[in-house]
Structure 1
Amino acid sequence: MLAVASIIDIKNREVPDMLWIVFGVVAVVMIFFEDDMIESLTLIAFSMILAPFVLLIWRFGFFGGADALSLIVLAGLAPLATLDTNVVTPFTTFSNAVLFMTLLVPINLVRNVFAMLSHENIFYGFKESKFRKMIAMFFGFRSKNPKFSFSIERMEGSHKKFDFSLHHADTEPFCNSPKTWVTPGVPLILFITVGFVIQILFGDIILAIFGF
């Protein structure tokens, strides 16, 4: 399920709801093949405490509806699944995914530093403080041909300004203006897939860091 969703998300940045419906049905059917149905239902119910959390995050626009549905269906298909002895929680896949997403921050910074070392005027047309320029270097980059990215700049008079406001993943249009500062529209399901694989093989990274 996650592999198919990741491929579709990378190509189109939109995953059809039918995928979640099909695997949601599979999750329900699998319950009837469990040796202990009551224990299985209890485990799924506990894992589903994730659902209101991710739905709330989706409503605020931090990620798309498909990302929320993937985590909810996954909680039904493989609640607290792991092959390791490390502790996992209903939030482990999500927390692992978010941890890997933070790698995008240094990647943006390195990209911008290399652009500046190549004598590119990445702040051309901007009238901003050094502090805001530094923030922009962590969260975005100046793209020559944006694709599946959100603009983080706006015009203010004759100068450009950075706009760090939240972009709703489901409603904000992607930027297609060349030579624009953008923040990547991250295919979060790909990171969720990685987070789940890490959960299976290792457990919860954050809990392990803190010694649980």
Structure 2
Amino acid sequence: METIPEIFLIRIGLALGMLAIGGFFDIWKREVHDYLWIVFGVAGAILLIFEPNQTDIIYSTLFALIIAPISILIWRMGLFGGADAFALIALAVIAPQITISGNIVTPFTTLSNAAVLFIVPLLVNALRNTISKIRGENIFEGFDETLPRKILASFLGYRAKNPKYCFSIEKNEGSVKKIAFSFHHADNEEFSEKPNTWVTPGIPYLLLIIGGFLIQLGYGDIILIGMGMGP
């Protein structure tokens, strides 16, 4: 059995430690200080000094940093927050395309795996709304909507009695309510505090990134392997 190099394990440990701390603060305060990414990113860069094959790891790191402009662009578009962008960039320095699976990975694997995991909260919303309907709750009371839009809303959100860290997806049109399928900027939009309203959860995307990285470590790239591009 091939021995895993110690420096390899250190990189994995640094990456997991950084993500664990970031995930904790993202859940607790919905805010992660930039110092976290800077400190761990610098630690990852320092590890280059101790690499036995410095040329190879420098090449791998520079290649992995292709994710940097993509992450910043997605952040500026509001699809996720600045902490998520910086986490991906720091990961590229600390653990460039690292996996213990032997399967294919790319600079975009953590991000693409996280995107696949985004289906999980959609299924949770659908299950929550299905349970509410089984209980006899009129979750669309006061709404004038078509069945397809109600089905879509049931995947995107739910009716919350006391919403927390959620964005409103309903609006009033005269005497009736409508579902508002609008874009919610991750950094700029305020969370809804209105009781008994339809909302979509403001999911900490960093948690999906953590999941995406763990899948990268143990399995590889979900999309590429699903397309038959694995070994």
TM-score strictly above 0.5 = yes
Correspondence 1:197 to 2:214: yes
User: Percent of counterpart pairs with the same letter?
Assistant: 50
- Residues of 2 paired with 1:21 and 1:10: CA distance? 20
Deviates more, 1:154-163 or 1:75-84: 154-163
Q: Which amino acid aligns with 2:195?
A: P
State yes or no: 1:100 paired with 2:117. Answer: yes
Q: Name the TM-score, length of structure 2 as normaliser.
A: 0.89
Say which structure, 1 or 2, has more relative contact order (CA 8 Å, 6+ apart): 1
Encode CA deviations 1:154-177: one digit per residue, 9 max, x unaligned: 122222111111100101111111
> Which residue is equivalent to 2:7?
none
Aligned counterpart, 1:42: 59
**SS of corresponding position for 1:178:** coil
Shift of residue 111, structure 1, vs aligned partner: 0.8
Given candidates 78, 83, 96, the residue that maps to 1:61 is: 78
What are the within-5 Å matches in structure 2 for residues 79-90 of structure 1?
A: 79-90=96-107
- For structure 2, which runs of at least 5 residues remain unmatched after alignment? 1-17
Amino acid at match of 1:9: D
State the Cα distance separating 1:189 from its structure 2 match. 1.0
Separation (CA, whole Å) in 1 of partners of 2:34 and 2:176: 42
Q: Could you report, residue by residue, the CA deviation over 1:20-54 in whole angstroms, capped at 9, with x for unpaired residues?
A: 11112112211222223222221111001111111
Cα RMSD of the aligned pairs, angstroms, is 1.1
Q: TM-score, normalised by structure 1?
A: 0.96
Matched residue SS, 2:183 = coil
1:11 to 2:15 alignment: no
2:195 matches 1:175: no
Q: Deviations over 1:180-212 (max 9, x none)?
A: 101111111111111111111111111111111
Superposed, 1:93-172 pairs within 5 Å as: 93-172=110-189
Task: Pick which of 184-193 and 31-40 moved more.
Answer: 31-40
Runs of 4+ in 1 over 3 A off after TM superposition: none
Displacement after TM superposition at 1:106 (Å): 1.6
2:54 counterpart letter in structure 1: M
Q: Which residue of 2 aligns with 1:73?
A: 90
Using the alignment, how far apart are the partners of 2:143 and 2:114 within structure 1? 34
How many residues end up aligned between the 2 structures?
A: 212
Tell me the amino acid that sits aligned with residue 140 of structure 1: G
Secondary structure of the equivalent of 1:103?
Answer: helix
State the distance in 2 between where 1:168 and 1:84 align. Answer: 35
Cα distance in 2 for residues equivalent to 1:197 and 1:52? 23
